[in-house]
Structure 1
Amino acid sequence: MTSTATATTSKTTAKAAAKKRAVRPIYMVWRKVIDEQTGEMRMGLCADSSIDQFLCREREYRAGDQVRCEIKKARNVKFHRLVHALGRMVSEQVEKFHGLDAHTTIKKLQLDASVCCTYEAFDIPDLGRVMRQIPESISFDYMTEERFREFWRGICQHLIEKYWPGLTEEAIEQMTGLMPGEREQ
């Protein structure tokens, strides 16, 4: 794996970025391909996007390499878009969140609602034990679809209780500009 420093990035920063990419999953898509050795039509995993192709090249994967894979079906991208659309909408409509980007808004809502968070304890001399709440990552690689649905319901419930009484989860979903049925696809 090579890393390149540029005029705007140090060698240390470039190495850190390459190391982070090394653990990033590569998204693949099943395609019908012809096996060159047998001429048979087979199902093969191919890099899904140019980013995934880049990651394969960076890791120096070659035809014929044997690799170990953990195959999981990717989470529905519409859920992710739904949450970020909600973050944008909340930052525009709720004064407490004005000026924040969608991601920061969602993280603040997640903490405020205590939904999908873990707790960490610290023993501090002269103060004793202090607890800190940490929001779980909602990225595709860390949160299951089921947990993500729990996250969505918790955020909506918090918004209804604190900022938008009288609304329902379905109404909030419609306000984000996505059709309700899209969540189920």
Structure 2
Amino acid sequence: MTLTPAAKKIRAKRARRPVYLLVRKLMDPVTSELVGCLVPANEVDARLLRERRFHTGREVRAELKQPREEWQHRLIHKIGQLMVDNVEGWEQLGSHDAVKRLQRESGTCCEEMEMDIPGLGRLMVMQAESLSFDEMEQDRFQILFDGITEHIGKRYSHVMLDAVRAEFWEMAGTNRRAAA
């Protein structure tokens, strides 16, 4: 069967998708010893392993990373939505776009790049790092969160209503307490 270009693209993307695993204590059938084992976190990850032909007993090479805290990822997007809902000039953005704007404005976790714009010449722009769970480590995400909340505190908190400002500082404080 010949795959269409779209199907090939989907298959290639799936092949790069990370597989999430859980560490479990299981009995080694050879030694009867309890050992820590990596097992698929869910049915989707089990299917991905089967599709990639990872079978029991096969040696594999892996780069292991601990995923970021999902609640912090949701929290930073809630802060982005708070900006969209309460700061003039932000209402056209989605929560993710608001976070990326804050990231570029603050310069936190950004790389300065030179771009050649036809008719304008060379411009320096801030390229924000990806927030993707698989791209940004937890410690880097903490730097991002702290930088964005500090930026909001300095640049935007004075334009927020008291109740909104209090909600923002509660969200920022929740993350700081949990990280400590």
Q: TM-score range by the shorter chain?
A: 0.7 to 0.9
Q: Which has the higher helix share?
A: 2
1:74 aligns with 2:67: yes
Q: Deviations over 1:5-51 (max 9, x none)?
A: xxxxxx32332222123222212111011223333322110111233
Deviation at 1:118, TM superposition (A): 0.9
1:27 aligns with 2:20: yes
**Could you tell me which residue of structure 2 aligns to residue 138 of structure 1?**
131
SS at match of 1:95: coil
Figure out how many residues of one structure are paired with residues of the other and give that number.
Answer: 176
1:47 aligns with 2:47: no
Query: Could you tell me which of 170, 175, 179 is aligned with 1:174?
Result: 170
Q: Percentage identity across aligned positions? A: 34
Alignment CA distance shift 1:38-1:102 (3 Å)? same
Q: Which runs of 5+ in 1 are unaligned?
A: 5-10
Alignment CA distance shift 1:125-1:90 (3 Å)? closer
SS at match of 2:89: helix
**Residues 107 and 135 in structure 1, CA contact (< 8 A), matched pair in contact too:** yes
Deviation at 1:127, TM superposition (A): 4.4
Alignment CA distance shift 1:173-1:33 (3 Å)? farther
One-letter amino acid of the structure 1 residue matched with residue 127 of structure 2: I
1:158 aligns with 2:158: no
Query: Could you tell me which of 104, 110, 116 is aligned with 2:103?
Result: 110
One-letter amino acid of the structure 2 residue matched with residue 61 of structure 1: F
**Could you tell me which residue of structure 2 aligns to residue 36 of structure 1?**
29
Structure 1 consecutive aligned stretches of length 4 or more whose deviation exceeds 6 Å: none
Alignment CA distance shift 1:125-1:97 (3 Å)? closer
Q: Structure 1 stretch 31-40 or stretch 79-88: which is displaced more? A: 31-40
**Could you tell me which residue of structure 1 aligns to residue 178 of structure 2?**
183
Query: Could you tell me which of 57, 64, 87 is aligned with 2:80?
Result: 87
Q: Which runs of 5+ in 2 are unaligned?
A: none
For normalisation by structure 2, the TM-score amounts to 0.80
> What is the distance in 2 between the residues matched to 1:117 and 1:93?
25
C-alpha root-mean-square deviation of aligned residues, in Å?
A: 3.0
